[in-house]
Structure formats: C-alpha cells, structure tokens
Amino acid sequence: MNSDNKEEMFPIVDEQGNIVGAATRGECHDGSKKLHPVVHLHVFNRKGELYLQKRPEWKDIQPGKWDTSVGGHVDLGESVEMALHREVKEELGITDFTPELLTNYVFESTREKELVFSHKTVYDGPITPSEELAGGRFWTLDEIRANMGKDIFTPNFENEFRKLGF
C-alpha cells in the first residue's frame, strides 16, 4: 500500500510566502499548524466542466474524497511555479498548459495550515491520472453545486470553490 512520505521536507512560510524555516510533512500535518505552501490547479475543459481528482484511501489527509484537479505541496527549494508544473505532470500527466493565478489565501483545518496558491487553466488534451490518485473525471458546475455539503468533496475544495465563485 502506498503512503505519504512523512519525512519529506517542506518550507515553512509566513502569510506573504517568505520562507522562515523548514519542517517534515509529518510535522506539518500533526496539528502543529506550521504554515506551508501548496499549489492548486483547477482544470476546466472548453465545455466549462471542472476536472476533479479522487483522493486514494491511503492519503493522510481527506482520504477517498473528491478534490481540486491538482493539489500538492511546494517542496523545500522549489518555487510555486516549479511545484505547480511538477504536480500537474505527476498527478495528471499534463505538461502543456498555461496556468492563470487566481488567488492565494491561508487555509486552516484541525490538522494543518496551508498557504494556497490557486490557479486555473483550460485544457482539452489527454489526462492520465497517476497512481497517486484514485482516478478523476470532469464534473459540471451544477453537479458540483448539487453535491456540496454532502461529505463528497474535501472541505478545502468546497471552501475554494465558493471563494472563487465558480
């Protein structure tokens, strides 16, 4: 069974994104609320549908839920742009896309605190979900709205979906 690498090193940042330290994934996800940067990409097709990934059951945060098209941590020594391109390639096999930065904000749950850099793109090419995911598919925005609050999506996705007004 796969599992997250609890020893993977993440930068610790202030709310402006300045690096102020470093910590392991385990330390960042143990309730310490160490602020660490993550990237999100919302992948829309030309029909206006939004691709969502299904999180595998082995994930340490929100297993089995539907989530943002791509989401991942910025590794120590990596820029937001580098992390975004790496995560999109790793998770969906997409290398040719043009991201548009939508917003950045702090998301806090009971276990972690993230500085989220949220992007979107329009893409109609092939998508090949990796073994990091339990699959994925395009959803209409009405389908997403109809399933909000039913414990199908991650709280972070629902929060961001509302915040961005999709």
3 lies in some domain = no
Residue 159 within any structural domain of the chain: yes
Q: Is residue 98 part of a domain?
A: yes
pLDDT of residue 1: 43
User: Is there a domain that residue 1 lies in?
Assistant: no
The domain in which residue 55 lies consists of: 9-164
Q: pLDDT tens per residue, the chain (166 residues)?
A: 455 677 889 999 999 999 999 999 889 988 899 999 999 999 999 999 999 999 999 887 889 999 999 999 999 999 999 999 999 999 999 999 999 999 999 999 888 899 999 999 999 999 999 998 999 999 999 999 999 999 999 998 999 999 999 9
Residue 73, domain member (yes or no): yes
pLDDT value of residue 31: 86
How is residue 29 written in tokens?
Answer: 């996800």
Q: What is the pLDDT of residues 61-103, one digit of tens each?
A: 889 999 999 999 999 999 999 999 999 999 999 999 999 999 9
CA distances from 107 to 5, 53, 127 (A): 22, 19, 27
- Measured distance CA(126)–CA(131) in Å, rounded: 16
CATH number of 91's domain: 3.90.79.10
56 assigned to some structural domain: yes
Q: How open is the CA angle 15-74-86, to the nearest 5 degrees?
A: 145
Tally Cβ neighbours within 10 Å of residue 12: 19
How many angstroms separate the CA atoms of 48 and 32, rounded? 38
Measure the CA–CA gap between 103 and 166, rounded to whole angstroms. Answer: 13
Q: In this structure, is residue 75 part of a structural domain?
A: yes
Q: How far apart are CA 39 and CA 16, in angstroms?
A: 15
**64 in a structural domain:** yes
Q: Are strands 100-108 and 113-122 parallel, antiparallel or unpaired?
A: antiparallel
Query: Whole-angstrom Cα distance, residue 88 to residue 74?
Result: 12
Q: How far apart are CA 62 and CA 143, in angstroms?
A: 20
**Predicted pLDDT of residue 111:** 85
What is the total count of domains within the chain?
Answer: 1
